[in-house]
Amino acid sequence: MDIVKTSDLVAADLPNLESPFFAASKVRERIKKELEFGTSRLGRILSLPPSFTARREDHGRLLDEVEQKVRNGELWLVCSGQLIPDSILRFSSAATGGMPSLNV
């Protein structure tokens, strides 16, 4: 999955777009995990200066901003193209005809 600005979408992304309704919470959780591990792309996603460093007290506000941009259609969650975007693929790839395992 990747988080993409509307202006950066390409035709190949269109079939793999997650609905903004579902994507908003997924994006929030993904960015939250990235912040915990220090690998956040918030600066790039929000077009902040390269020198930007998110302080812990700003995380909530920034997560809200990203989530709102997804809901407004300014940012999109592009799935990898697997058949069932919410599942984890194991031992096979949906792209080559394999069946994804369902984690329920």
| H and E: helices and strands count for the chain | 3, 2
Q: Which amino acid appears at position 38 of this protein?
A: G
| E strands, the chain, in order | 2-5, 75-78
Q: Which two tokens stand for residue 47?
A: 């077009």
Instruction: Say what the pTM is.
Output: 0.63
Q: How many domains does the chain have?
A: 1
Residue-wise pLDDT for 38-56, tens only, equals 666 777 777 776 666 667 7
Asked if the structure places residue 103 within a domain, the reply is no
Asked if the structure places residue 12 within a domain, the reply is yes
Asked if the structure places residue 101 within a domain, the reply is no
Q: What is the radius of gyration, based on Cα positions, of the chain?
A: 15
List average pLDDT for each run of 10 residues in the chain, which is 104 residues long.
Answer: 87 90 87 74 72 73 88 89 50 47 51
Q: Which pLDDT score, from 0 to 100, does residue 68 have?
A: 92
Please name every residue paired with 76 in a beta bridge, in sequence order, or none if there are none. 4
Asked if the structure places residue 28 within a domain, the reply is yes
Q: Which amino acid appears at position 82 of this protein?
A: Q
* Residue 13, domain extent: 2-96
Q: Which two tokens stand for residue 15?
A: 């079939």
